[in-house]
């Protein structure tokens, strides 16, 4: 490990954090970036492993802010290890593990357990997130200080949205105390009611109860006001509507540390994909109208939205192959995140560097971790990507233990050829050169 | 009731010697049918009416077939109607009522489907509280499936029996104005009727207080009204929907008395409709909630005709799905 130096040559290197974008060489020593240069490598270190990456893109490894696993408690859905396998294949070198497990990660000892399990079993970096409230119940805040000491890098209640404004105010203020970012899923539970898909004509035709846009924007507006009040580093975990983009843009214009993420699903799909009650498209937030999808894409381009995540949420067929309203929410996404995002590059909707920034340096900065960039001295977490590699998503070929993909049969262009964590190759595409 | 009386219950030939084939394995919704298929089903149902009016009520085209009525939601009239329809066609009929709660906790819908499928029925009639559940079940069984109501999605045989009742009384469908009034948001009857009537060139109106109107309904109905008096003006058919008492709890609408005052069908409001307007209701009725008892049981009411047409329609649907030689996958 970390023994021989590594030299990757002839790649198009894109480092969104520094703005570097040129064909050149990357040198790795001791698991860290030693040099980055345009053109031919200035010299070949003795005993170096040389990788010719001609025709490939070299990007920092992806940092995914929203990944659910089943460990501990529901290992049949996903273990940390199987999630890490999927992550490596998808070019994700660090992911934030959501605390929605059994038991809930709401105690320092559990954060410590998760970190150790990840260390022992995972080929990518797993960052523990701790619950904001005990048991994700939205009532009593957890021990933020002790959780941070145990290794938690962020606070979130995962799929749950805290309904009490008073609890949120306390949580935001106390999180600011310990300089921990808060990632909050925004959904007004009362207004959402029994809704299961985007409210509109399509839900009406299907006879399904709708989720209004306001069920997202009302709590988002409240959160942004509370963030301004408390000075917390606030991240709206996932937004899905055009109105949310407007709220984020306005809040950013006011200043303060407020950011927002969007799921790759909300960028790629819309409510029509639900089709005839296809429960693999039952997501939270729901797939919205095409107008909302376009607004969110535009929000990403303009910077109102900061990060793209997979919202990787493994669910087994027992809970997924149910009548739509009774099926569980969620879709796996680690392996399709990058290729689905590249659709926006290929279509010309969002520049490549903007897309990569939203999956590398921006999420890393939100967590305040040393990742997502190719600066000298930074951990050598990077990926080699064939931007035009054509492939068709096949459920059976996924590495996750659960196969609930919303991209089954999708034709995508762009695939990870190799993934490196700390200078070690942890994934290589079968049959590919590098 | 004006009544055509064909000599026997064979599929109608439209007087042209033409019978339109019915190329479906399942009947999951009106949305899968075009206007010609709807017309054909109505003609076949009309031809079934005499079977139930003769002393020996048997027309055994389904002799030797097994029909399972699988009801995850309690129902008296629909289940009885399907049972009688099947028996008059000579099928072996079995009723299965399943409590939804025990199903969701233990055996899944798909497990239930697989179990029943192994008993080799020829047709399963399904009612379920979740939209899409019947379609899901149809994908897991080898036999025909008829949707007897799935959540707020569809109830196709109800729409067909409503259309047949209207046609029996009005002699036609095209060009009529039908007002559907009540809890549109939660009604599968409303959705199936809007689809069917829309396909048959009927002017459709929906009338409801705003909280009971689902988003986008204006794209499904010809006109939308929140004032019942305006909505009833000149209507040829007034179709009332059941209001579940629990909706009048102050969360959606304030009270039963307020609902009745503004959206209940009474003589005064009915007077605004066409002078020969008929009054319909899919049942079961809440007298004094959505309809004045005097109207429900009065001369304009065709509610019991709807029940009779229900048996004829279900016989026609069963017969068409199970005996049509051109039967293919839906």
* Chain A neighbors of B130, CB-CB under 8 A: 323-326
Please compute the mean of the pLDDT values over residues B133-155 and round it to a whole number.
96
Pairing of strands A424-428, A411-421: antiparallel
Residue of B nearest to A319 (CA): B108
Q: For position A432, what pLDDT does the model report?
A: 65
Q: Is the pLDDT of residue A298 over 80?
A: yes
Q: Is the pLDDT of residue A2 over 90?
A: no
| pLDDT, tens digit (0-9, with 9 covering 90-100), for B27-80 | 999 999 999 999 999 999 999 999 999 999 999 999 999 999 999 988 889 999
3-state SS assignment for residue B257: helix
Q: For position B2, what pLDDT does the model report?
A: 45
Q: For position B1, what pLDDT does the model report?
A: 46
Phi, psi of A412 (to 5 degrees): -120, 155
Which of A124-138, A357-371, B67-81 comes out lowest in average pLDDT?
Answer: B67-81
Query: Residue B8 — very low, low, confident or very high, per pLDDT cuts 50/70/90?
Result: very low
Query: Residue A173 — very low, low, confident or very high, per pLDDT cuts 50/70/90?
Result: very high
Please compute the mean of the pLDDT values over residues A66-77 and round it to a whole number.
96
Q: Count how many residues are written for chain B.
A: 330
* Chain B neighbors of A209, CB-CB under 8 A: 152
Q: Is the pLDDT of residue A379 over 70?
A: yes
Neighbouring C-beta atoms of residue B40, cutoff 10 Å:
22
In order of A56, A419, A434, the CA distances from A431 in angstroms are: 15, 15, 9
Position with higher pLDDT, A312 vs B251: A312
Q: Is the pLDDT of residue B10 over 70?
A: no
Q: For position A128, what pLDDT does the model report?
A: 98
Q: For position B191, what pLDDT does the model report?
A: 98
Q: Is the pLDDT of residue A78 over 70?
A: yes
Residues 370 through 399 of chain A touching chain B, CB cutoff 8 Å: none
Residue A199 near chain B (CB below 8 Å): yes
Element (H, E) at A27: strand A20-29
Our CA-based measurement puts residue A277 at a distance from the nearest CA of chain B, in whole angstroms, of: 6
Cβ within 8 Å, pair B216-A205: yes
CA atoms within 13 A on the CB side of A248: 30
Cα dihedral: A421, A423, A426, A429 (round 10): 110
Q: For position B104, what pLDDT does the model report?
A: 52
User: To the nearest whole percent, how much of chain B has pLDDT over 90?
Assistant: 81
Which of B140, B130, B123 shows the shortest CA–CA distance to B62?
B123
Q: Is the pLDDT of residue A44 over 90?
A: no
Hey, what are A371's tokens? 């990742």
Position with higher pLDDT, B114 vs A58: A58
| pLDDT, tens digit (0-9, with 9 covering 90-100), for B282-324 | 999 999 999 999 999 999 999 999 999 999 999 999 999 998 6
Q: Per DSSP, what are the bridge partners of residue A9?
A: A52
The pTM of this model reads 0.92
| pLDDT, tens digit (0-9, with 9 covering 90-100), for B148-205 | 999 999 999 999 999 999 999 999 999 999 999 999 999 999 999 999 999 999 999 9
Position with higher pLDDT, B155 vs A256: B155
Please compute the mean of the pLDDT values over residues A191-212 and round it to a whole number.
97
Q: For position A321, what pLDDT does the model report?
A: 87
User: To the nearest whole percent, how much of chain A has pLDDT over 70?
Assistant: 99
Position with higher pLDDT, B262 vs B13: B262
Query: Residue B107 — very low, low, confident or very high, per pLDDT cuts 50/70/90?
Result: low
Query: Residue B281 — very low, low, confident or very high, per pLDDT cuts 50/70/90?
Result: very high
Angstrom distance (rounded) from CA A250 to CA B319: 63
Which of A18-27, A43-52, A147-156 comes out lowest in average pLDDT?
Answer: A43-52
Please compute the mean of the pLDDT values over residues A46-67 and round it to a whole number.
96
Q: For position B244, what pLDDT does the model report?
A: 84
Residue B135 near chain A (CB below 8 Å): yes
3-state SS assignment for residue A204: helix
Q: Is the pLDDT of residue A181 over 90?
A: yes
Query: Residue A280 — very low, low, confident or very high, per pLDDT cuts 50/70/90?
Result: very high
Residue B132 near chain A (CB below 8 Å): yes
Nearest by CB to residue A325, choosing from B151, B216, B220, is: B151
Q: Is the pLDDT of residue B7 over 60?
A: no
Q: For position A213, what pLDDT does the model report?
A: 98
Query: Going by C-beta distance under 8 Å and a sequence separation of 6 or more, which residues neighbour residue A87?
Result: A64, A67, A93, A95, A124, A334
Angstrom distance (rounded) from CA B145 to CA B123: 6
Angstrom distance (rounded) from CA A411 to CA A393: 7
Residue of B nearest to A199 (CA): B215
Considering the candidates A15, A311, A313, A386, report the single residue annotated as catalytic: A311
Which of A32-41, A425-434, B247-256 comes out lowest in average pLDDT?
Answer: A425-434
Query: Residue B5 — very low, low, confident or very high, per pLDDT cuts 50/70/90?
Result: very low
| pLDDT, tens digit (0-9, with 9 covering 90-100), for A132-157 | 999 999 999 999 999 999 999 999 99
Residue B73 near chain A (CB below 8 Å): no
């Amino acid at each position: 490990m970390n023994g021989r130096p590594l030299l990757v040559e002839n790649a198009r290197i894109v480092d969104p954090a520094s703005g570097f974008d040129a064909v050149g060489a990357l040198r790795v020593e001791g698991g860290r970036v030693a040099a980055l240069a345009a053109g031919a490598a200035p010299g070949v270190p003795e005993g170096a492993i040389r990788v010719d990456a001609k025709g490939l893109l070299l990007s920092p490894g992806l940092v995914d802010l929203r990944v659910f696993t089943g460990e501990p408690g529901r290992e049949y859905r996903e273990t940390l290890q199987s999630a890490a396998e999927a992550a490596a294949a998808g070019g994700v070198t660090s992911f934030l593990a959501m605390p929605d497990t059994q038991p809930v990660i709401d105690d320092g000892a559990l954060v410590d357990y998760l970190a150790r399990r990840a260390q022992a079993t995972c080929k990518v970096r797993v960052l523990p997130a701790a619950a904001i409230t005990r048991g994700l119940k939205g009532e009593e805040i957890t021990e933020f200080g002790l959780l941070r000491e145990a290794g938690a890098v962020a606070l979130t209640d995962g799929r749950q949205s805290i309904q009490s404004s008073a609890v949120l105010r306390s949580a935001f203020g106390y999180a600011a105390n310990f300089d921990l970012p808060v990632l909050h899923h925004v959904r007004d539970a009362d207004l959402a009611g029994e809704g299961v898909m985007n409210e509109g004509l399509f839900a009406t035709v299907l006879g399904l109860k709708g989720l209004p846009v306001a069920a997202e924007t009302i709590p988002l507006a409240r959160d942004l006001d509370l963030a301004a009040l408390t000075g917390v580093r606030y991240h709206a975990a996932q937004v899905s509507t055009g109105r949310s983009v407007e709220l984020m843009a306005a809040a950013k214009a006011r200043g303060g540390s407020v950011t927002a993420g969007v799921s790759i699903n909300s960028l790629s799909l819309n409510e029509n994909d639900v089709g005839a009650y296809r429960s693999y498209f039952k997501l939270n937030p729901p797939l919205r109208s095409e107008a909302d999808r376009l607004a969110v894409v535009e929000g990403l381009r303009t910077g109102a939205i900061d990060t793209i995540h997979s919202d990787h949420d493994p669910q087994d067929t027992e809970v997924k192959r149910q009548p739509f309203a009774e099926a569980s929410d969620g879709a796996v996404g680690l392996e399709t995140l990058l290729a689905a995002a590249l659709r926006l590059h290929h279509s010309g909707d969002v520049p490549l560097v903007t897309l990569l920034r939203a999956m590398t340096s921006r999420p890393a900065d939100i967590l305040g971790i040393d990742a997502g960039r190719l600066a000298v001295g930074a951990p050598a977490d990077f990926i080699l990507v064939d931007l035009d590699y054509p492939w068709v998503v096949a459920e059976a070929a996924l590495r996750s233990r659960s196969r609930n993909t919303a991209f089954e049969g999708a034709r995508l262009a762009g695939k990870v050829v190799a993934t490196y964590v700390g200078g070690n190759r942890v994934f290589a595409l079968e049959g590919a050169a590098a | 009731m004006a009544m055509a009386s064909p000599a026997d219950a064979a599929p109608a030939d439209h007087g042209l010697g033409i019978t339109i084939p019915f190329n479906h394995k399942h009947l999951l919704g009106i949305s899968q049918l075009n206007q010609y298929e709807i017309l054909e089903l109505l003609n076949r149902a009309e031809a079934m009416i005499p079977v139930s009016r003769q002393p020996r009520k048997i027309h055994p085209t389904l002799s030797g077939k097994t029909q399972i009525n699988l009801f995850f939601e309690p129902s008296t009239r629909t289940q009885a109607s399907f049972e009688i329809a099947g028996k008059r066609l000579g099928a072996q009929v079995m009723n299965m009522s399943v409590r939804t709660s025990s199903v969701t906790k233990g055996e899944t819908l798909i497990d239930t489907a697989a179990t029943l499928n192994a008993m080799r029925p020829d047709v399963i009639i399904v009612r379920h509280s979740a939209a899409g559940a019947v379609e899901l079940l149809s994908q897991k069984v080898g036999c025909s499936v008829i949707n007897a109501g799935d959540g707020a999605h569809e109830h196709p045989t109800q729409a067909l029996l409503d259309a047949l009742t209207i046609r029996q009384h009005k002699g036609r469908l095209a060009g009529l104005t039908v007002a559907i009034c009540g809890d549109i948001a939660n009604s599968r009857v409303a959705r199936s009727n809007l689809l069917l009537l829309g396909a048959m060139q009927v002017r459709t109106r929906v009338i409801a207080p705003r909280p009971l109107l689902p988003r986008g309904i204006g794209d499904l109905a010809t006109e939308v009204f929140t004032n019942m008096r305006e909505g009833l003006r000149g209507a040829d058919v007034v179709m009332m929907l059941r209001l579940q008492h629990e909706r009048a709890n102050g969360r959606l609408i304030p009270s039963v008395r307020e609902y009745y005052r503004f959206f209940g069908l009474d003589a005064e409001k009915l007077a605004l409709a066409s002078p020969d307007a008929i009054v319909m209701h899919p049942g079961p009725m809440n007298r004094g909630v959505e309809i004045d008892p005097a109207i429900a049981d009065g001369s304009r009411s065709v509610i019991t005709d709807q029940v009779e047409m229900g048996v004829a329609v279900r016989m026609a649907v069963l017969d068409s799905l199970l005996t049509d030689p051109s039967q293919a996958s839906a």
